[in-house]
Amino acid sequence: MNVALDILLRLLVWLLLAPLLPGIINKVKAWVAGRRGPPVLQLYYDLAKLWRKGVVLSTAVSPGHIAGPAVAWVALVGAALLLPLGADGAGVAFRGDGLLFVYLLAMARFCTSGAALDTGSAFEGMGVAREVSYAVLAEAAIITALLTLGLQSGSVSLAHMLAPSAGAGAALLAAGLFTVLLAENCRVPFDDPNTHLELTMIHEVMVLDHSGPPLAAILHGASVKLMIFAVLLAEAVLPIGELPPFTAATALLGAVLVVAVGVGLVESLLARFAFRRVPLLLTTAFLLCLFALMAAWKATRIENIQTSTFNFQRPIVCARPNAAPWMLGVEGRMLKVLPPASRGDARRSHSCQGGDA
């Protein structure tokens, strides 16, 4: 009962707070431009309006056009539940959930792309081709970042991977994940969520034929995905898992707010890149995560060497009072190569019993 209640509370946090991030980003952009801008809760109003509207379908589409956004929304919510929120851990945690996390994000993209291709429109097919081509490099950067966290924590579970801070290469990992966040959520400089130019749209062109509740599911899923990457970035860099529960929750909320403000500033100060420059920027993000992986591997290797050196130089206590000093080193090396179960027997056999030399 307690587990079900915990999962339900986490689900409500993700579903209710996620639409707040696009409102904060739009408010920051309006503030930089000197405008009043839309209210922070604008996406909530849009979702409520779309849920009340009907669905307009083309005669060429199949049931997959409706099922695609629904499955993508479920996949994103499932990926969100795998992420820990502060020091309380994740709602759903098991060994290897980091791999499932990557696959759920890929499934959401596949379902959205499939629903767009189902219309038979060449225009939406062009947007899908651009989306998938960018996803190849973005997913490589995500996998490399998770490998970095897994190498430092020695685990493939997100609850353990995100418990400590990133350590060596934290700045590189933060820069790479922030770049991936912009690409995965179709933000400037990769895409412009407010554009209406046919030749420059990527994500928006994929949802042109959706309306009503399916469009609401797509918009809400996009906000959940933005919050997923913001939480992942915050917990990968900051030692939130090592803080007390209330302090960790406050720090995580503040970090997500800082990420949202950063996205708004980037969209206000940068223009959208040309298509030929986008792969170069994604490759840079992958290299930043790769350098963070190399730094983590180097730090882990140095730590292992220091630990093994300390264990080798640690003196072995011998119970024989008349044993020669050079025998201590010999017995220590003998005990080091023996399996752990045999070391106790070896110590007892080499101990001084009856004054044997």
Looking at the structure, do residues 47 and 194 belong to the same domain, yes or no?
yes
Looking at the structure, do residues 284 and 325 belong to the same domain, yes or no?
no
What is the reported pTM?
A: 0.85
Give domain status of residue 355, yes or no. no
pLDDT digits (tens, 9 = 90+) for 142-180: 999 999 999 988 889 998 898 766 566 889 999 999 999
Looking at the structure, do residues 227 and 334 belong to the same domain, yes or no?
no
Residues 247/262, Cβ–Cβ less than 8 Å: no
- How is residue 116 written in tokens? 């767009």
Looking at the structure, do residues 196 and 327 belong to the same domain, yes or no?
no
**Angle formed by the axes of helices 20-33 and 42-52, to 10°?**
130
pLDDT digits (tens, 9 = 90+) for 5-21: 999 999 999 999 999 99
Looking at the structure, do residues 340 and 249 belong to the same domain, yes or no?
no
Give domain status of residue 43, yes or no. yes
Looking at the structure, do residues 329 and 260 belong to the same domain, yes or no?
no
- 229 vs 86, more confident: 229
Looking at the structure, do residues 195 and 344 belong to the same domain, yes or no?
no
- 8-state DSSP, 322: T
- What is the spatial distance between Cα 335 and Cα 314, in angstroms, rounded to a whole number? 12
Give domain status of residue 313, yes or no. no
- Count of domains observed in the chain: 2
Position 304 confidence tier, pLDDT thresholds 50, 70, 90: confident
pLDDT digits (tens, 9 = 90+) for 100-148: 999 999 999 999 999 999 998 888 898 899 899 999 999 999 999 999 9
Looking at the structure, do residues 156 and 19 belong to the same domain, yes or no?
yes
Looking at the structure, do residues 162 and 266 belong to the same domain, yes or no?
yes
pLDDT at 324 over 50: no
Residue numbers of the domain that contains 324: 319-350
Residue 186, helix vs strand vs coil: coil
